[in-house]
Each structure stands twice: as structure tokens, then as C-alpha cells.
Amino acid sequence: MNFELIKDEIAERLPEFILIRRKIHMNPETGMEEFKTTDLIIKTLESFGVYEIEKIGETGVVAIIRGNGEKCVAIRADIDALHIEEKTNLEYASKLDGIMHACGHDIHTISLLGSAYILNRHRDEIKGIVKLIFQPAEEKGIGAKYMIENGALENPKPVAIFGLHTWPDVEAGKIFHRHGKMGAASDRFEIKIIGKGGHAAHPEKTVDPIVIAGNVIVMIQNIVSRELSPLDSAVVSFAAINGGNVSNKIPSEVELKGSIRTLSEDTREYVHRRIEEVVENVSKSMRGSSEVKIHKGVPVSYNDRNVSVLIERACREVLGDENYIENPEPSMGSEDFAYYSDYVSSAMYRLGVGFKDRENAPLHSDKFMADEEAIPTGILSMVAVAEKLLNEL
């Protein structure tokens, strides 16, 4: 492929790509409810001359661009938004109360749509098949499984799948990438501390679940700080504490909710076990009882070495070494993209979307904004990586 020509083609259609992205941004939809987004994706693909399209259930799309050959690679973009009230004051801010593209999935979507336009335009130069996967419900951690269960990785089966994710800490137009571990496993827990309620003036006649809960919280934090190696990584965060609703009565129960993030399966299983042990033993030692439920979520995400190296080479060759940044460490954030790696070699890279010389709001912030200067890089990098994988994997 002539990537200098492709850069010109992207620049020529960029105003249209920006308008599509803004339409998606203004009309965000949350996981498994991306009905209008799905319809927009299909109509846009058809307008680009891509007609081998399958709608997955009510939300989600798989499209195929056939070149010369049977080898297949897949590109994934997630399309869902978050339950966040947007406070960016952008002229194209979300029209819907309490829903926002605060994680950049609108950028992911337009990057893949733009890639579809370019790849279809140059399909005679492609040595194989490119499968485009527009996935719902990443934020709920169920979308990748949904697409896999509905055949997204079959007929044809790709030899590899890749995707990108916006990264506001990196300037727009640059790629931020690493090999190996990419993101953490994400699990959630629910703890119920059961005591004996009574008058706040007579605590000796009660078993105070609030005091027990306080001790449980402290002891669980000690798992990370005193039982794991400083070279290992884990995060246990308590996000909700509920118990009682008046000032003069000790409640009979307290409920705690939170999340667990780990970077290895061994650490994951250890933290789970120790949380259960700590909650049970602390509660018993203070005359109470307890219930613990731990819900496993997304596993640790790894970038396959062979795929990841080709991503690096493609980005360096097309964008220049100055626009490629080595990512020194994995994130404690999670990605349901990890589920694809159970079936096919996979890797993901970060797309810088930060504005230069200003503070950028983080992902999942009500003030998150992506610099649209990143869109050409998103499209170009996807096309380059797809070609590189088909030619060299």
C-alpha cells in the first residue's frame, strides 16, 4: 500500500469522519442498548461500499472486506458509552441526560469506520481478509463474550485480532504501546457484616457491625500492603458502605461493595481467598458473622508477542519513530478485549488523544475530551497494522 496516498485520502474525507464521530458522541448508548449506533455503523459501511455485513442480534456488527487470499485478521472497536453526565460544554456534547462517551469509544468507532473506507478502497492490494468487529457492552464486561458466542471469530476465523484504546495522557497523533501485560483482571465483591442492633447509648448490648466493618476494611488493605510483594500489583477499593440511617441506633447489618484489580491469576486467586478469610475471622473475633460474594470479571489482558511486535513495526514505519512511545507499565484498568485472547492471538495499543500544552481530563471523567486530531492516526494505524499482520504474521 502507498501510505502517503492513504494519508491524503484520509485527509480528504476527514471532515466527514469528524461529523460521523460527533453524531455518535451526541447520541451515546450504553451496553447492549447501542441500537441507533449499530444502525449508523451499518449505514455508514454501506455508504463506503462495504456490503458483507452481519448485525449481531440487536446491537453489534461484523463486516468483512475481502482482498486476495484466505488469511484473515480482525480489528475490534467497542461502541458503548457510560452512565455519566457530560460536563464538557462542547457544541457536540451528549444530548442524553446521564449518558456520555467518556472513554473514547466514539473515537474507536470512527477509527474503525475510517479504516473500513480505506481498506475497501484498496481491497485489491490486501493479501487476505479483514474482519471488522464493532462490539457492544465493553464497559459491562460482557460484550466480547457476546460477540464470540455469536460467531464473530468464525467464518472466517482470524489468525489475530487487534484494537486500539484512547489515552488522554498522550498527545494526539502518537501511539503508546507495550508488549506483554496490558491490563488488570477486574472483579467485584459484596460483603455483608451481620451484628446485633440496638440503642447507640448502650453499645455493650449490641454487636456493632459498623465497628466490625471498619476493622475489615483496614485488614483487607493490609493484604495488599503486607502480604503481596512490592513488585506485584493489586488494588482493592471499597466503593460503597451502607448501614443504618439514623444517629441513635446501631444497625444490625452493614453492606460493603468494591472492586479488586490484579495483574496475575495467582495474585487474583490469593487476594480472593484472603478477603474471604479476613472477613470471616475478623467478624467472628468481634462476635459477628459475615457473608462474602466475589464476582469474577474480566481476566488479565496480555499482548501476544508476535502480534504486538508487528503493531510496533507498522506504527513506526507509517507514523515515524517520533510518534511511537514505549508504554513502560501495564494499567490497573481492565478491558474485556482480554476474552478474545482465549481464542486467537491478540494485542491492543493506546491511541493518544490528549490536547497539547493543557491538562487533559482522565477517562471516565465527566469532562473527558478527545482531540479530534487523533482520528487520522487512529485510521492510519489500523490500516497499517492490518496490512502488516496479513503480510508477515
Q: What residues form the annotated binding site? A: 103, 105, 139, 165, 364
* Angle, CA 329 vertex, CA 325 and CA 330 arms, to 5°: 110
Pairing of strands 175-177, 324-326: parallel
What's the distance, CA 233 to chain centroid? 19
User: How many CB atoms are located within 10 Å of the residue 68 CB?
Assistant: 12
Look up residue 104 and give its three cell numbers. 473514547
Distance, in Å, from the CA atom of 389 to the CA atom of 7, rounded to the nearest integer, reads: 20
* Angle, CA 66 vertex, CA 391 and CA 135 arms, to 5°: 95
Cell 481498506 belongs to 119
Sign of torsion over alpha carbons 381, 386, 387, 391:
positive
Q: Is 249 exposed, middle or buried (0-12, 13-18, 19+ CB in 10 A)?
A: middle
Annotated binding site for Mn(2+): 103, 105, 139, 165, 364
Distance, in Å, from the CA atom of 335 to the CA atom of 277, rounded to the nearest integer, reads: 28
